[in-house]
Amino acid sequence: MEIENNNERDDEFYSNSNYHSNQELYPIGINSPFENLSEELSLKVGDRKFLFICSPLAINGPISRSGLLLKTTKWVSQVTGEISPFLDKFQRETKEKNIEKNQEIFDNLLFEQEIIFQNEMNWAKYLGIYYILLPTPIFVGDEWRVINMNYARMISNSITKINCDCSIQIPLVENLGNETKTDENRAYSTWCLIRDACNSNPHLSVALELTGSRVSESFIEKWMIEPVKYLVLPFGIFSKNKKSKPFLKKELEEIVLKFMVHNTHLIIKIGNNDVRNLDKKLIEEEALNRFHYLQYLTTKLPTLSRDEKIDLEYSNDLQLPLQPLMDNLESEIYEVFEEDTTKYSQYEEAIYQALLDFKSQVDKVFVIMVVGAGRGPLVQNAINASQRASCKTSIYAIEKNPQAVITLQNRKWKGEQSVKVIHTDMRKWNPPEKADIIVSELLGSFGDNELSPECLDGAQNLLTENGISIPCKYTSYLVPISSTTLWSQINNKSTTKSFETPYVVKLSRYIELSTPQECFEFIHPIPKSKIREDNKHNWKYKSLTFDLKPGFDLHGFAGYFKAFLYGNVTLSTNPSDKTIGMFSWFPIFFPLKTPIKNSSFISTDFWRVGSSNRIWYEWTVSSPVSLPIHNPNGRSTWIGL
C-alpha cells in the first residue's frame, strides 16, 4: 500500500523535474538510514528511480536484519552491502585503553576487528550480496598507518578468497580533526597503499565521497585514472535554489560531471545527522529532489555521436590486434570498418589528387590496383575519384580472402565501371600490366602492426617505375600514459604473456604524461636496392626519452599513427592532429610489467624485429630504472607473415 502511495508522489516529482524523462536513467543509488528495509526499498520503485540501495550488513551491530527480508535476486541486484565502520570503533578502543604501545593487546584488538570484518563479509556472501562498500580508512592518531596496513591485509585476504566486488569509501579530502595538515594527501595516498597492497585487484575500487573542500584540478585528474566506481554525495553537500530545490555549486557540479562522463555510479548519502534532524517523509522528499537534480545533470554531458556511443562501450576493453594477413577476416568486421566514411573520403580525395597530378599524360588509361580490396570500399573510392578527375582508369581489385573475393565478383559498382577482381596474395602476383597507383588500407592501430610494410614491399612488383603508393608514408607515435584501471586489468591475468601483449584499446580513465614522439617510419615504394631478402630492412629500433608530468605512475605507452595518403591528404590517430570523425582505429597500448613510480623522465626502447615468418615488437624502459625486455623473441605475441 505504502509503495503505491510513494509511487504517486514520486511520479509528480518525476514529471516536474528538468531532465528528459524518456531517456535512460543515470545509475544512482541511495543509502538506507532506516530500520525497516522493505520500507526503504520503496524509495526504489522498480527501475524508474534508484538503481540500488546501500544497506548495512552488521548483524551484531545496532541494525540487525534477517536474510528473509528479501528474495536472493533482490539482494544480488539491488543491494550494496555496507561493512560497519569497525576501524573507528577500534581506534576509539585503543585510545580509551591507552594501549597503543602494548604490542600484545594491540595485536589482540587488531585481530578482534578481523573477526567482525570476516563475519560481515561471510554474511554478505551468504545472502548473495556481490557489491560491498568498505569503511573509510583511518587518517589520524599515532597508529593510523599500521591500522590501515592491517586493514589492507584483511581486504587483500577477502578479495582473493570471496567472489565479490569491494569499493572502499575514501573522502576526496580527509578530515584530520585537530592534527596539523601536512603536504601529503592522506586519503589519496592511503588508497594507493591499499590498492598496491591488494596487488591492484580489479575487484577493488573506490567509493569517492565528495567533500566541500576546494581541490585543484590536477588533484581530480589523479582520481580520474583510478577505479572510482561510485561517487558519494552527502545530503548536506547540496545547496538550495530560490524554489528550495537542491543543486550543486559550480565547482562541485563540474567534478560530478567529470565522473558522470565515465558512467561512475552516484550514491546519495543520508547521514545519521540528517536522520536525527529531519523527519522521514522530508528525507524521502529531499532524496528524490536530489535524485532528479542529478538526472537533470545528464543534459549537461557532452552529446555523443552514434559512433562515439559505440566507442564508449569498448572503454578500456583490452582487444588483441587483428591478424588480417594470417587470418581471413569475417564479413561483419569488413562491415564495421566500411562505415567509417571519413576515412574513405580521405582515400577518395588522395586518389583524386594523384590522378589530377598524373593527368598531364593525355589519353593515358591509368591503372589503379587496390591491394587487399576486402569487400571493395576503396575500389568504389577509386571509381569515384576517376569520374571526378575525368580520367580513364583500369581498376584491379586484389584480394587473398576467398570469401571477400566472392563479394567483390558479384558487387555492382556505382558509376558502372568494370573492375578486374584477382584472387591472389599481392606479394606473389605477376600482373599482365603494371599499376600507376596501388591503393591499400593495411594499417593497424600502430601503423605498421598489421604488416603493411611487408605486404607493400611485396606489392611493389605491381608498380610502374614512377608509380605511387597510397599511402606513401606512415609513422607510428608513442606517448607514456598513466592508467591504474587499465594496468590492473592486465596485472590481474598475472601471466608473463599479459604484459607482453600490445592491446588495441579505446583509452578512458588515462592521462598522457608527455607529448607523443615519432617511433617507426615507413615509406612506399622504397628503392629496390634497399629491399633485403631477409626483410631486415623493415626491422627497426627506436630509443626515446620523454619528460614526464609529475605525480603520476607510468603504466605503459599509448601508440598512434599518422599516414600520408597522397600530398597533404592524411589519416591520423595522434590526438594532437587526429582526423576528426574517423573511428576505425583505437590506440594501441604497450603495458609495462612494473609501473614506474613518479619519475620526471623516462627512456624507452622499442624494437620491430622478426624471424622468417613472423614480426613482433619488443620494448622496455632503460632509464631512470631498467625493466626486463618485454616479449623477447616474440615469445608472447607476434604477427604472422
Q: Is 384 helix (H, G, I), strand (E, B) or coil?
A: helix
Q: Which of 194, 588 has the CB closer to its own copies? A: 194
Round to whole Å and give the CA distance between 625 and 603.
9
Helix (H) or strand (E) holding 174, with range, is: none
How many Cα atoms are found within 13 Å in the side-chain-facing hemisphere of 373?
30
Least CB distance to its own copies at residue 622 (A): 5
| Burial grade of 36 (CB within 10 A; 0-12, 13-18, 19 or more) | exposed
**Is residue 314 near its own copies by the rule CB under 8 A?**
no
Q: Mask 580-619, x = binds its own copies (CB under 8 A)?
A: --------------x--x-----x-x-x-x--------x-
Give, as ranges, the residues between 411 and 450 that touch its own copies (CB under 8 A): none
**Candidate list 450, 454, 500, 618, residue with the active-site label:** 450
**Is residue 157 near its own copies by the rule CB under 8 A?**
yes
**Given the C-alpha cell 566486488, which residue does it identify?**
165
165 labelled as ligand-binding?
A: no
Least CB distance to its own copies at residue 347 (A): 28
Least CB distance to its own copies at residue 547 (A): 18
Least CB distance to its own copies at residue 191 (A): 11
Q: Is 532 helix (H, G, I), strand (E, B) or coil?
A: coil
Q: How many CB atoms lie within 10 A of CB 111?
A: 11
Least CB distance to its own copies at residue 453 (A): 13
557: cell is 605507452
**Candidate list 143, 348, 441, 500, residue with the active-site label:** 441
334 labelled as ligand-binding?
A: yes
Q: Which of 621, 493, 498, 515 is nearest to 574 (CA)?
A: 515
Q: Which of 34, 219, 334, 539 binds its own copies (CB under 8 A)?
A: 539
Q: How many CB atoms lie within 10 A of CB 341?
A: 12
343 labelled as ligand-binding?
A: yes
541 labelled as ligand-binding?
A: no
How many helices (H) and strands (E) the chain has is answered by 19, 26
At 460, the amino acid letter reads: Q
Q: Which of 124, 152, 439, 479 binds its own copies (CB under 8 A)?
A: 152
**Is residue 356 near its own copies by the rule CB under 8 A?**
no
Instruction: Count the site residues for its own copies by CB under 8 A.
Output: 48
Q: Which of 197, 326 has the CB closer to its own copies? A: 197
Q: Which of 45, 629 has the CB closer to its own copies? A: 629
Beta 228-234 vs 204-209: how paired, if at all? Answer: parallel
Q: Which of 100, 165, 196, 311 binds its own copies (CB under 8 A)?
A: 196
The piece of 20-28, 284-292, 301-309, 537-545 that touches its own copies (CB under 8 A) is 537-545
DSSP tag of 409: H
**Is residue 543 near its own copies by the rule CB under 8 A?**
yes
14 labelled as ligand-binding?
A: no
CA-CA-CA-CA torsion for 430, 432, 436, 442, nearest 10 degrees?
A: -40
At 598, the amino acid letter reads: N
Does 450 qualify as catalytic in the annotation? yes
Alpha carbon separation from 304 to 10, 311, 505, 627 (Å, rounded): 30, 10, 19, 40
What angle separates helix 331-338 from helix 402-410, to the nearest 10 degrees?
60
Q: How many residues does the chain have?
A: 641
**Is residue 633 near its own copies by the rule CB under 8 A?**
yes
Least CB distance to its own copies at residue 355 (A): 31
Q: Is 225 helix (H, G, I), strand (E, B) or coil?
A: coil
**Is the Cβ–Cβ distance between 131 and 81 less than 8 Å?**
yes
Cα 639 from chain centre: 24
Give, as ranges, the residues between 478 and 517 that touch its own copies (CB under 8 A): 494, 496
Q: Which of 367, 615 has the CB closer to its own copies? A: 615
Least CB distance to its own copies at residue 484 (A): 13
Q: Mask 91-130, x = binds its own copies (CB under 8 A)?
A: ------------x---xx-xx-------------------
Round to whole Å and give the CA distance between 139 and 580.
46
In the chain, the N- to C-terminal Cα span, in Å, equals 70
Round to whole Å and give the CA distance between 84 and 82.
6
Binding-site residue numbers for S-adenosyl-L-methionine are: 334, 343-344, 399, 425-426
Binding-site residue numbers are: 334, 343-344, 399, 425-426
Judged by the rule CB under 8 A, the positions of this chain that interact with its own copies are 103, 107-108, 110-111, 145-146, 149-150, 152-153, 156-157, 160-161, 192-193, 196-200, 494, 496, 536-537, 539-543, 594, 597, 603, 605, 607, 609, 618, 620, 622, 625-629, 632-633, 635
Which of the residues are catalytic? 441, 450
